Amino acid sequence: MDLPSTEDIIDDLAFFDDWEQRYQYIIDLGKSIPGLSEAQRTDDRIVKGCQSNVWLIESYDNNIISFDVDSDAVIVQGLLALVLAAFNKKTPKAILDFDIDGYFQTLDLENHITPTRGNGLRAIVGKIQELARQHA
């Protein structure tokens, strides 16, 4: 799975005139994530604090953290793609140094997703940053 860079995502979203088109782009990004098998969707991999089910699997090799994710909601799968563009296949230091709040502000996400989705997004980011701190 090769997602666009965070810079490309920012540029792509800026191209669209309205949020209906931006949502579709985010959903399409989510469709590019392979997801997880039923066997991988275990309770211990669920990210707490999300309204929808979100599963996160982390692997660490050679100072690089990779993530496999899945959700049962298409818009959340798209939001996961935005997060993966920032954090997947990076060093723990790069994950912890990345200005995720600035990235979300640039995307203007918080004004266009429900508060519960926003809380879930912060829970996912928090979980990834916690994993990065464990490896740092």
Residues 52-75 have pLDDT tens digits of: 999 999 999 999 999 999 999 999
The answer to whether residue 127 is catalytic is: no
Considering the four listed CATH numbers 3.40.50.720, 3.90.1010.10, 2.30.31.20, 3.90.1580.10, the one that applies to the domain covering 6-135 is: 3.90.1010.10
Mean model confidence pLDDT for the chain: 95
Among candidate residues 5, 103, 116, 101, the one with its CA nearest the CA of residue 52? 116
Asked whether residue 1 carries a pLDDT value surpassing 70, the answer given is no
User: Quick one: average pLDDT of 73-93?
Assistant: 96
What is the rounded distance in angstroms from the CA atom of residue 25 to the CA atom of residue 38? 26
Q: Choosing from 50, 80, 109, 113, which is the catalytic residue? A: 50
